[in-house]
Chains A and B, each alone.
Chain A
Amino acid sequence: MPKIVILWSDVVVLATLVLLLLYGVRIRGSANLRATWLKVLRDRAAICSAVVLVLFFAVAVIDSFHFRRALADAPSAGAQQRQAYGTRTESLLDVLLARQLEGRETSYSAPLAIRGFTKDTVEVDGKIARTYPRLAHGGERLKDESQRLPDLLQRAATGLLLGVLAALLAALGIAFAIARAHREALGTAWRALLRNQTELPWRAVVVTVLVLCALFGPLLALAQHYHVFGTDRTGNDVFYQALKSVRTAFVIGTLSTIATLPLAVGLGIVSGYLRGWVDEVVQYLYTLLSSIPNVLLIAACVLMMQVFIDTHPDLFETGAERADVRLFLLCVILGLTGWATLCRLLRAETMKLSQLEYVQAATAFGVRSARIMVRHIFPNVVHLIIITTVLDFSALILYEAVLSYVGVGVDPSMNSFGGMINLARTEMSRDPLVWWSFAAAFGFMVTLVLAANLFADGVRDAFDPRSRSFRPKLRRSAA
């Protein structure tokens, strides 16, 4: 039996999943919320990026079930000996990507290569020669090197075919769901879907799914036999690293914003409602906080935390646990240093709201201040909290890269986009150029951040009644 390991950030990812599901249930129950979220989903860019985000989030969730393998009992050990566990903490994603994890090369290799990138002294036919060594795992089953191209094409084509098939199945599923919801024939729903005459822009979703499947189908098919994004300096698969980085980015994006909420919401509402000396103190606190240069403050906190971690090595059983605690605390630090903006926003909004008639009526009826703040003010500022949360998500992912560069980001042993970029910097100055780590980090990060940005725009437009959407529109001849 493997030993289940629950890391702090696992709790965060899984709690986010549970919270999202609970929120989904709440949306179903409230007509108001349902209308607003339908408005978000009616935005084509938002619903397409939601699909992409769900895909990334799924990777993060799969990567959040950790365990340590049980080691086989030593032959001499008696029954009373305690079960020993491997030192490596693995996740479900590691099991799925076992081939990438096990298939370590010795050094750099280009994407889809079967030979190494740097020359090495190897034995060929009994003679010592200096050549590009054959990779141990990239295309290992190929008997002849000339088979590489046909093999690549064949695998890519199979993957593409399977991907398109999966996308078609998904489209059929959507059409079936629409048909059931509207009690109409499947054919009618299918035609409506193709003509983009459905209530939500399902055709755009289908196109997104098709593109994703067409990309990931060949990718996954080739990953069975090659290093699709090459390997890094120590021979690790870059595709694997990029997938692992997704979880780090998600944890930083969600946990950091969640960590800002208690202080920002609590202090913002209390100071805006009570005014007087409470307001003065809160204003002083956030002026203080925002006047310290952000990176310096975070750097000081992170160095402090690192000293704590270094002086208490006994608290952590494995390296993974230590790296995870660092990630967790980094997010908490980002949260504790980043609440000023939202607090200021909520304070101003509360001040405005507390002048309104319904709050004055509640005061006149003798409702206690605490109850007014919780029942009457808080629900009316939730939209601001949601907007800020989704807007901050992508900003934090970008910020992580900068922090890692400064040296106060996540643990170097943990895969993250920041770490990948940092390494890529030296690789880009090599000759010949090693570009694939950089390209992989770029591709994954831009996709994630772009999707998050587009989704955030949709949420903002739907939730903020005052924000005027200045979306540019292409004029269509038909419309």
Chain B
Amino acid sequence: MLNYVVRRCFYGVLVLIGVNLVTFMLFFTVNTPDDMARLNIGGKRVTHEQIQKWKVERGYDKPLYWNAAAEGTHQVTDTVFWDRSVSLMALDFGRSDSSSATDIGHEIGHRMLISLQLAVPIFVLQIVVSVAFALLLVFFKHSPIDFWGVVTCVLMLSISALFYVIVGQFLFSRVFHLVPISGFESGWDAARFLILPVMLSLLSRLGSEGRLYRAMFLEELGRDYVRTARAKGLSEPKVLFGHVLRNALIPILTSAGSYLPYVFLGSLVFESFFGIPGLGSYVIEAITGQDFAIVRSMVFIGSLIYIASYIVIDVAYTWVDPRVRLA
């Protein structure tokens, strides 16, 4: 298994280099470093010297990918791409391109904590609530509860998450004044600001997740071991909770695992709607401000977390299901 993990890690590094190359190409095919300098220095008259100074300060004064003037290996290493990629691999994100030039690494660390406060409850509760809801439907299968439950699921998954947010904010903050509309405070006060986004996030995904898990449970219910368990005379709750639930853990793990990257990256929609200063809203600010250094760092972190979570999920399979052998 160690062998497998090491191999996957190497592959991950390869992917990360590719990701970095893609972001670079995407950005620099339309924006030259000169454009960036002009945009960030601002003002109407920008002299050539100012641009040069900005580029030297931020390290954009070298050629992008290929330094024809240098010799030997320096043709590759003496470029913006090499400099930036190497420092990114060492998790040194440098400073943002905007005039404030904040330290991106520090900012990301700070904001990731805030994102986690929102995302971890969502992640855990999502699995619990969806599985519970699905179990309820499965337990009452072939009854009106099941039928109308699924109808509700289909209806709910046809509604955009934005509608949930808007209606939720309107009802709970404006009409009933239960929670603040948006904003954030650190410490225990955060709970007041987080409860609504967490609830709404759960609600907005309950339809699709509930239906998915219900299908998974029904799939498991058709298997032989269920018949054996029933033949032994086990009660239906015992079959469902003792046997089916444990066996359905693998598909549940797979589908929940695909959300793992977003636990760290935060949800764009929920963070910016509720004014929570996490990574999601950081990304939106960077996109609107065209701050390439931040966007690139976020893409890098996103891919890193994605790759890492998939390795974790693979390892988790062996733990949930002893039959799985990683080779």
Contacts and interface: CB of A to CB of B under 8 A. Distances in A.
Interface of A: 284, 287-288, 290-293, 295-297, 299-301, 303-304, 307-308, 394, 398, 401-402, 405-408, 417, 421, 424-425, 428-429, 438, 442, 445-446, 449-450, 453-454, 457, 468, 470-475
A304 B147 contact: no
B215 A442 contact: no
A335 B14 CA distance: 24
B174 interface: yes
A454 B154 contact: yes
A301 B141 CA distance: 46
Contact of A445 (B150, B160, B222, B290): B160
Nearest to B173: A429
Contacts of B22: 288, 292
24 contacts: A284-B18, A288-B19, A291-B302, A292-B23, A293-B306, A295-B268, A296-B302, A299-B283, A300-B26, A307-B31, A405-B269, A407-B287, A421-B163, A425-B166, A429-B174, A429-B181, A442-B159, A446-B159, A449-B159, A450-B158, A453-B154, A470-B219, A472-B142, A474-B144
B295 interface: yes
A473 B27 contact: no
A472 B31 contact: no
A408 B15 contact: no
A417 B160 CA distance: 10
Contact of A453 (B149, B158, B163, B284): B158
A470 B138 CA distance: 10
Q: For chain B, give the interface size range.
A: 35 or more
A300 B19 contact: no
Chain A at the B interface: mostly helix, strand, loop or mixed? helix
B156 to A, nearest CB: 10
B287 A472 contact: no
Interface of B: 11, 14-15, 18-19, 22-23, 26-27, 29-31, 137, 141-142, 144, 146-147, 149-150, 154-155, 157-163, 166, 169-170, 174, 181, 214-215, 218-219, 222, 261, 265, 268-269, 272, 283-284, 287-288, 290, 295, 298-299, 302-303, 306-307
Contact of B141 (A284, A287, A288, A472): A472
B287 A303 contact: yes
Given A303-B290, A454-B154, A468-B219, A291 B159 contact: no
B15 A300 contact: no
B237 to A, nearest CB: 20
Contacts of B174: 429
A28 to B, nearest CB: 31
A304 B27 contact: yes
Contacts of A301: 26
Given A394-B158, A402-B161, A421-B162, A293 B27 contact: no
B302 A473 contact: no
Contact of B18 (A288, A401, A446, A449): A288
B30 A308 contact: yes
Contacts of B144: 474
